[in-house]
Amino acid sequence: MGLTIAQKIIKAHLLSGEMTPGSEIGLRIDQTLTQDATGTMAYLEFEAIGIPRVRTELSVAYIDHNTLQSGFENADDHLYIQSVAKKYGLRFSRPGNGICHQVHLERFGKPGKTLIGSDSHTPTGGGIGMLAMGAGGLDVAVAMGGGAYYITMPKMILVRLFGKLRPWVSAKDVSLELLRILSVKGGVGSVIEWGGEGVSTLSVPQRATITNMGTELGATTSIFPSDEVTRAFLAAEGRENDYTPLSSDPDATYDRIIDIDLSTLSPLVACPHSPDNVKPVSELSDVKVDQVCIGSCTNSSLADLLRVAAMLKGKKIDDSVSVSVSPGSKQVLSMLSDCGALSDILAAGARLLECACGPCIGMGFSPNSAGVSLRTFNRNFEGRSGTRDAGVYLVSPEVAVASALTGYITDPATLGDCPPVVLPKQYKIDDSAILLPADPETAKTLSVRRGPNIKPFPDTRPLSDKVDATLTLKVGDNITTDHIMPAGAKILPYRSNIPYLSKFCFAVCDESFAERAKAVGSTIIVGGSNYGQGSSREHAALVPLYLGVRAVIAKSFARIHAANLINAGILPLTFRDPADYDKLEQGDKLSLSGLFAALTSGEATLTDETKGIGVTLDCRFTERQRAILLAGGLLDYTRNNGDKKQ
């Protein structure tokens, strides 16, 4: 039986387990990346493990999230990460060099390699045929030390593309179409592979947009073939030697096949507050627009911004609209400047932001009160923009510009002919902002710089056979990590300070949660379906750990967050009967007993002491996950046991 692209890469990197969907496998990781919002904690964890040098083929530390330096905190974290990178063998991408996913695609990504990153949009690398996955920072730390990365062997979904995109329709619309079909839960437990004759019509930047947005499906990752289009992109980056052809076997089998005719697609919009709330642009023409943000790791490539510049040339943005443009990398910004496209953008009235994530994570450029913001980003979760009552719509660059010019959500086809964009055969190469590590001997003499905002990893403790706790918070379906641990300019600077960060835990849902949790001491949280979707931020597990959360009981979990809870030593349990969710109420006194036996049997009983009822929970974990939970988390398990399977 033939293999899919992902199965071929998995087979070549398999360290443990069997390639049977649903079983746990351990993979050798070739490359890792971090960004500064998650990186400080990841490197504190790497230091705690005690390994003197990174053991991957390549590890890169990027500074792209916390670049708004309104106090010492972000600057201190950047110096900490830079000193860690130099000492332990990582490359360091300086602030202003660009967004991790864009820069990694340009300068480091290689077809057929494995990549994990402490950012959920790491699957962007699938645009050039990498098996690239988002992970918690502790998983990245273990991988940097040479340990395996463990996932559940995914199912395989093939999306076959036919035809060619019409003018004014973009890769963003392809992503939104699949979100419309599958929803934010439809990719859970699966790899999305893109194939069919239509693939050859898509450039690498277009493919990267699609694999980036695959994260919003809940997918393990997304991947394209590595073909002549890939070769041309790598050659333009001066890296043709990194090219490897990669395709699925003709007799490869898939768990599901979805067909999309590119020629039938029209511009789409994801309406507030979910990426799968998708509607045609034509249905939203009466929506007044206050703000437009162009950029993020989804749509900040040279190709995207050349299109933006061509559409804006000689025109003026509507007086009622504020527009920002964030180039994805220094390479993109420099080439826009050299060819004059940047002048066209600025002359139209757009504001230029630095090459960073910026507004996507609420780091500046928040909308006005109750404002409508169109963004070429990947997420529109409530409050993520920094303005709780804003309505954020996800759109393509083409729709963004058309709407900025008219002041209303606008189909770009109404503007006339689509201006052509020609990509260069050679990109401008300047890696001077990527600093190399010290050699191993020099590294031994170096020290790490730590600012006062950097606090220790939260205290952990081995799992007890019995947990008595209060149901301190009950939430609904599709709770995101932005709900659990918000981002934004006021909060992100404290990512290395868990005690201070804890004040904001679940503030989007219930501002009193943190104080209530600290008061009761031992907490259980109850959630609905797809609990923990969104960002890979492990702070959404570490902060609850600090606040005394011992277990989270939900109808279902998002993949990365469930792994992060286990890594933190928190039990992620699921209702055997989802209807039991309705029996539990906030404030109930709960008890989990016989947990040691439950970890073996796969079934736990929750007793609601307040109501005098029992609820059956699924408690099924792999042997390794059970050992991690018993040890009190992955850090203790790795540090104490050395992960003997490696």
Q: Which residues are catalytic?
A: 64-65, 119, 379, 535, 537
Query: Within a 13 Å sphere around the CA of 85, how many CA atoms are in the beta-carbon half?
Result: 28
Give strand ranges (E) for 389-466: 391-394, 434-435
CA nearest neighbour of 209 among 162, 237, 177, 239: 177
Tokens of 626: 């059970």
10 Å Cβ neighbour count for 127? 33
> DSSP letter string over 194-229?
EESGGGGGS-HHHHHHHHHHGGGGTBSEEE--B-HH
* H or E stretch at 58: strand 58-62
CA nearest neighbour of 552 among 524, 588, 590: 524
Report in angstroms the alpha-carbon separations of 400 from 39, 404, 583. 32, 6, 45
Phi, psi angles (nearest 5°) of residue 545: -60, -45
Contact by Cβ (8 Å): 442, 53: no
Cα–Cα distance between 572 and 617 in angstroms, integer? 10
10 Å Cβ neighbour count for 519? 12
CA nearest neighbour of 279 among 173, 192, 382, 367: 173
Question: Please, is 183 exposed, middle or buried when counting C-beta atoms within 10 Å of its C-beta (0-12, 13-18, 19+)?
Answer: buried
- Residues with Cβ within 8 Å of 316's Cβ and at least 6 positions away in sequence, in order, are 348, 349, 405
Report in angstroms the alpha-carbon separations of 348 from 146, 279, 369. 50, 28, 25
Task: Give the residue carrying structure tokens 């990174």.
Answer: 54
Contact by Cβ (8 Å): 380, 392: yes
Report in angstroms the alpha-carbon separations of 476 from 451, 527, 541, 613. 38, 5, 18, 21
Q: What is the DSSP letter of 418?
A: P
Long-range residue pairs from 279-288, CB within 8 A, at least 24 positions apart, any chain: 281/395, 281/399, 281/409, 281/410, 281/411, 282/411, 284/393, 284/409, 285/408, 285/409, 285/410, 285/411, 286/408, 287/372, 287/393, 287/408, 287/409, 288/320, 288/372, 288/407, 288/408
10 Å Cβ neighbour count for 465? 12
User: How large is the greatest C-alpha to C-alpha distance in the chain, in angstroms?
Assistant: 72
Q: Is residue 304 classed as helix, strand or coil in its secondary structure?
A: helix
